[in-house]
Amino acid sequence: MSAPRVVVTGAAAGIGRSTALLFARRGYRVGAFDIDEAGLISLAGESAPITAGQLVTGVLDVTDADAWTRALAGFCGDGGLDILVNNAGLLSSGPFEEIPASRHRQIVDVNVTGVVLGCHAAFPYLRDTPGAQIVNMCSASALYGQPDLATYSATKFAVRGLTEALELEWAQHDITVTAMWPLFVDTHMVDGMDIGARRSLGVNLGADDVARAVLDATRPGRRSGRVHRPVGRQATVLSALAQISPGWANRLVNRRLTGR
């Protein structure tokens, strides 16, 4: 039997890079895509001793629908797709009004439009693959709107809603849709970040931790019915509290954590 196929976006660095390498080392055939061509070259060099052809890299702008079509056609051919990991994302921190409008729009384009286009383009391949799965990289910032991460937080609320809707809508096609919910992860996205939530909570997850959680969530035969999967102890606790606490309590907790 041929190896199951996985597409990972944002694969040149951070969580995407760790996820692509982990899946390839576990015997999956991985399509690792990113807009960062230099990072992809570095990734390909790091992939030894993975079997030749096990990890395939390609440049992809996730905000370009035609680019999605070409990338998936090139990787999947006339076959199916077992797992799509929508990981590509952007983040800027600081007061909302101090971040340029062009950057706000870029964050929305990558974090929301990129996920929508990825799901849309991948659907025919997922539909034709028994037990196919989508993993959307969400964030604990989608539990309650986060000051100093306002637009990023809003995009993750959008990813949350899309995940919930498609999980219901595509069940008829045997496609499982899951959202991963990490807190701050030790990648370049948090370099130089000095906001209240980061100071309060610290950075307690590495990219490999999230990659292992993605692998665990998608392992064959695992159908837990869980749409949202917190990653790490902190996210698990905050997620549980958010589900049982009234709105005023969630607001108070977030004010305390963020220093607002």
**At 48, is the pLDDT very low, low, confident or very high (cuts 50, 70, 90)?**
low
Q: Is residue 49 reached through a cis peptide bond, with omega within 30 degrees of 0 on the bond before it?
A: yes
**At 51, is the pLDDT very low, low, confident or very high (cuts 50, 70, 90)?**
low
**At 223, is the pLDDT very low, low, confident or very high (cuts 50, 70, 90)?**
low
For the cut 70, the answer to whether the pLDDT of residue 182 exceeds it is yes
Q: Output the pLDDT for position 47.
A: 66
CA distance 32 to 57: 5
For the cut 90, the answer to whether the pLDDT of residue 7 exceeds it is yes
Q: Output the pLDDT for position 49.
A: 61
For the cut 60, the answer to whether the pLDDT of residue 1 exceeds it is no
Q: Output the pLDDT for position 52.
A: 62
DSSP 8-state symbol, 236 = H
Q: Output the pLDDT for position 257.
A: 81
DSSP string, 41-87: HHHHHHTTTSPTTSEEEEE--TT-HHHHHHHHHHHHTTS--SEEEE-
Catalytic residues: 152
Least trusted range by pLDDT, from 45-54, 151-160, 204-213, 216-225: 45-54
Amino acid present at 25:
R
Superfamily of domain 5-258: NAD(P)-binding Rossmann-like Domain (3.40.50.720)
For the cut 90, the answer to whether the pLDDT of residue 196 exceeds it is no
On whether the CB atoms of residues 137 and 85 are closer than 8 A, the answer is: yes
